[in-house]
Amino acid sequence: MFDSIIIGTGAAGISAALTLKQLNKNFLIIGPKNLSFKINTAEKIRNYPGLSSVSGKEMKEAFAKQLNDMGIEILDKQVTGVYDLGDHYAVLCGQDSYEAQTIVLGLGVETVKPIKGEIELLGQGVSYCATCDGFLYKGKEITVVSSSKEFEGEVEYLAQLAAKVNFIPLYKDVELNLGNVCTFKGMPKEIKKENKRMLLALNDTNIESDGVFMLKASISPSVLVPGLEDKDGHILVDRLCATNLKGVFAAGDCTGRPYQYAKAVGEGNVAAHSVNHYLQELKKNK
């Protein structure tokens, strides 16, 4: 069992990992190995102390180097659920499960709000994870809504499994050109299920399929962690980055504005120290 599992490879998760490493904790950090796409996207960052003008790409390379230098390896997976097992937590990544005494959520903020029916039908025809659930739709017809270009690899993976993919990109510069992928433009409004078929309302029609994949970088925290208190999509934390669940801490954009690197890095550090304190208290009370 790990002392802690950090979810997210943005500024917050990386900062928590660096501090936990210094504190000599046994932890896992899960998220994209290529790090948060947000780190990469800033054209110029001018408000990060010590670096007067750095691009997102340079910042990302510096973060990656520091992780490498400290011997921290990222587990490149998407977390599909975090469950309370009484005195510790189980973190599910599709079929795989990892256990830890504490959790640090550095999930970033969800920019695409769930559409009507999405949360209600999650696990009943709606999925957030291509690699976890893709095999369920082998030879079938699926609909894929993608919020970002970074998921094109996952769409390709799904297209290899499914007979047909109805693809709705919510971004520009789509670079997919596969025989069984039919691309639609527009903003999905609602998902319904009728006679085991999924109906996705787009423009004035319903796109029918066997399953709907909603690919996005971050899903609603309270969907990922049942029982977690949030408000307006942000996880509620105190000054020590503690959530309402014992042993679960949160840092960065997912705890609220301002959405800034410096705040994410600061909270990641606070969360790691809180993990350390929590573990010390557990030991004392044993």
Residues of this chain that bind ligand FAD (CB under 6 A): 7-13, 30-32, 36, 38-39, 41-42, 45, 47, 78-79, 106-108, 217-219, 224, 252-253, 259-262, 264
Quick one: how far is CA 187 from the chain centroid? 22
CB of 107 to ligand FAD, least distance (A): 4
Closer Cβ to ligand FAD, 169 or 210, answer by number = 169
Q: Which is nearer to ligand FAD, 8 or 114 (CB)?
A: 8
Nearest distance in Å: CB 204, ligand FAD: 32
From residue 13, alpha-carbon distances to 50, 71, 87, 167 in Å are: 20, 15, 23, 31
Please say which residue, 86 or 258, places its beta carbon nearer to ligand FAD: 258
CA atoms within 13 A on the CB side of 200: 27
The residues that bridge with 248 in the sheet, in sequence order, are 103
Q: By C-beta, is 25 or 38 nearer to ligand FAD?
A: 38
Helix, strand or coil, per DSSP, at residue 18: helix
| 276: enclosing H helix or E strand | helix 261-284
For the CB of residue 70, give the shortest distance to ligand FAD in the complex, in Å.
Answer: 17
For residue 61, give the 3-state DSSP assignment: helix
Output 193 or 216, the one with its CB closest to ligand FAD.
Answer: 216
Please state the closest distance from residue 27 (CB atom) to ligand FAD, in A: 15
Give Rg (Cα) of the chain: 20
Distance, in Å, from the CA atom of 144 to the CA atom of 146, rounded to the nearest integer, reads: 6
To ligand FAD, the closest distance from the beta carbon of 199 in angstroms equals: 26
CA pair distance 14, 30, nearest whole angstrom: 10
